[in-house]
Structure 1
Amino acid sequence: MGVEIKIEHLTKSFGKQLIWNDVTLTMPAGEICVMLGPSGTGKSVMLKTLIGLLKPDRGSVIIEGTDIANCSEKDLYEIRKLFGVLFQDGAMFGSMNLFDNVAFPLREHTKKSESEIKRIVLEKMDLVGLIGAEYKLPGEISGGMRKRAGLARALVLDPEILLIDEPDSGLDPVRTSFINQLFVDLNAQINATFMIVTHDIHSVRVVPDQIGLLYHKHLAMFGPREMLLSSDEPVVRQFLNAQTVGPIGMSEEKDATELEAEKDMDLPPLPPIPLQLETSNGIPRKSQRPPGEWCRLNGVTPPPGSFRADSILSASAAKSSD
């Protein structure tokens, strides 16, 4: 079962360059969380801080009662055993075949026998659809297969927290859809807490339980998927709906002249909120909420056409007619 991650007043800078300031959020145990933001807003820095590779200037990251931002190296080593990490490119050792790459954490951090290691490795490779490719080298397979091999390696120690950095990077839309389905199915099976950093808006609209947005050196918003997808907060609305009207420009922020020119423009309507991606077997995940529940409980009227099977197509049609 996943564990809760509680971040309080987290601040990080490199020299005089502030990355983000006073970030506070709670990632519920066992839920899929996504962190978004324009390029350069410190999303990958956030992942490295969560696992203790970078120390924040101020604030705390509390996991199972331990503040990993301020704990001893011994305590940090123990807490890290809860984590699995999928890096952007899979981070495979080029001279090792996929079996040995996936087996590496078991050989490095456990005293399991080779027969037990083989059983675990093949189980995890089967989980990500790589049975039959065990003895291929990373250079002999596609980018999507390397990511799945990296995911299998991240799973071999049965993590309770899975950090995933840009899983769609370098993948075509079809492979991105497959890996999204894989994340949802994995979350249902292992109940780990997922934190995914991505730029893929379609993935963000259908996969997570919680969404966060980093912008202009702070956390603009973090909360349930429906809260952000129905939000009129300018930067949240602009980013999640891939719109040009709003405070984000080609650089992180638009200048005053650009904003002045937009002040009388009508914003396009919010697209329908799509149904959340289901597991392959159709059995709801423990953290999955009924469609529209957050909106109903909070008195929010969702955009027309929300929570229907054709909501994505409706949104595309509305965009093309504008």
Structure 2
Amino acid sequence: MGVEVSVEGLTKSFGSQNIWRDVSLTLPSGEVSALLGPSGTGKSVFLKTLIGLLHPEQGSVIIDGTDITKCSSKELYEIRKLFGVLFQDGALFGSMSLYDNIAFPLREHTKKKEDNIRDIVMEKIDLVGLTGAEDKLPGEISGGMRKRAGLARALVLDPEIILCDEPDSGLDPVRTAYISQLLIDINAQIDATILIVTHNINIARTIPDNIGMLFRKELVMFGPREVLLTSEQPVVKQFLSGDRFGPIGMSEEKDFAVAEQEAQMQAAGISGGGTKDDFSEIIPQVQPNPGQPERKAIERHRRRVVELLPTLPANAREAVERGMAEEDRIRADNRSRDEFGFGADAPTAPLKVVAGQTATDH
């Protein structure tokens, strides 16, 4: 089972430039969380701080009982073995083949024999749809393929915590759907704690149990997805709808004159370009593929949501209750299919990504 990650009062700056301040949140053990926010708000910096690559000026990051902001280098080395990290650009070694890149954590952190390492590496390569490309160098493949190789490397140690920095960037919509499903299936199998940084609103609405949002150097909110998706906060509503009218500007700080002008345009019926989807509806969360175990995180998450229901506005409470009822129906249908069509002969590994490359994979 994945471990809890507790962040308290975290503040990070580069010189005089403050990135974010007093960030406090808890990634519940074994649950999938997502971190949203406009570009440049320090989401990738936050991930690097969680694994000790960057050191905060204030605050604590407690992982499996150890505060990594205060521990020794030896303790940090051991804590990092709990992590699998998919960096935004894949972060592959350019002089190594994909096979050697993916095998690197096994050779670095285990004493497995090469035959055993090969079995594990080829399984992960097959899982992300890169069979046949294992001997290629990172410079010989597309950005999307490098991203998938980075994910395979993040998974070879069966980590208890998985960090994914924009797993959809460089991928076409179909492979984005496969990668998202793969993360849900992995969570169902090993109950890993997963944090996804993303700008993809569809991922945010359908994949995580919890969502947080960074804006103007602060954590706007963090909690069950149902709370953020029904939030009336202007910055949250604007980000989810992708509309240019609202607190978020081309620069993070939208000045008063621009805000006034946009308010007049909006009052005149001029569109801000955002989607008109009804975000008061809670879309059912993606479920594991047939034949996979049910996610243990679901019941833990549901208990927290039920406790929060009385504190929500009436329309949000109704939307959450409808969403929970629909998810219960979907899970019941899945159990029936498993019983009658996906029983003992069902696959026990997540369905792999389609192999090959398309133009949109670049």
User: TM-score, normalised to structure 1's length?
Assistant: 0.87
Aligned amino acid, residue 286 of structure 2: L
Percent identity between matched residues is 62
> What CA distance in whole angstroms lies between the structure 1 residues aligned with 2:31 and 2:66?
20
Secondary structure (helix, strand or coil) at the match of 2:297 reads coil
Contact between 1:206 and 1:275, CA under 8 Å: does it hold in 2? yes
Taking structure 1 as reference, are residues 304 and 116 closer, same or farther at Cα in structure 2, changes over 3 Å only?
Answer: closer
Taking structure 1 as reference, are residues 279 and 69 closer, same or farther at Cα in structure 2, changes over 3 Å only?
Answer: same
Aligned amino acid, residue 50 of structure 1: L
1:215 paired to 2:215: yes
Residue 319 of structure 1 is matched in structure 2 by none
1:298 paired to 2:309: yes
2:297 is aligned, of 287, 290, 295, to: 287
2:286 is aligned, of 269, 277, 285, to: 277
Displacement of 1:296 in angstroms is 8.6
> What CA distance in whole angstroms lies between the structure 2 residues aligned with 1:76 and 1:304?
43
**Aligned pairs for 1:1-322 within 5 A:** 1-261=1-261, 262=263, 265=267, 270-281=279-290, 283-288=293-298, 294=305, 298-299=309-310, 300=312, 301-302=315-316, 307=323
> What CA distance in whole angstroms lies between the structure 2 residues aligned with 1:195 and 1:54?
17
> What CA distance in whole angstroms lies between the structure 2 residues aligned with 1:8 and 1:82?
20
Residue 338 of structure 2 is matched in structure 1 by none
What is the CA RMSD across the aligned residues, in angstroms? 2.7
> What CA distance in whole angstroms lies between the structure 2 residues aligned with 1:295 and 1:248?
32
Contact between 1:221 and 1:236, CA under 8 Å: does it hold in 2? no
User: TM-score, normalised to structure 2's length?
Assistant: 0.78
- Name whichever of 125-134 and 77-86 sits farther off: 125-134
Contact between 2:4 and 2:26, CA under 8 Å: does it hold in 1? yes
- Name whichever of 27-36 and 142-151 sits farther off: 142-151
- Name whichever of 2-11 and 108-117 sits farther off: 108-117
Displacement of 1:72 in angstroms is 1.2
Displacement of 1:295 in angstroms is 7.0
Displacement of 1:140 in angstroms is 4.1
Secondary structure (helix, strand or coil) at the match of 1:298 reads helix
Structure whose residues are more often helix by fraction = 2
| Structure 1: runs of 5 or more not aligned | 310-322
Q: Deviations over 1:208-227 (max 9, x none)?
A: 11111000011000011110
Aligned residues: 309
Q: Deviations over 1:181-238 (max 9, x none)?
A: 1111121122111111111111111111111100001100001111000000121121
> What CA distance in whole angstroms lies between the structure 1 residues aligned with 2:280 and 2:245?
15
Secondary structure (helix, strand or coil) at the match of 1:122 reads helix
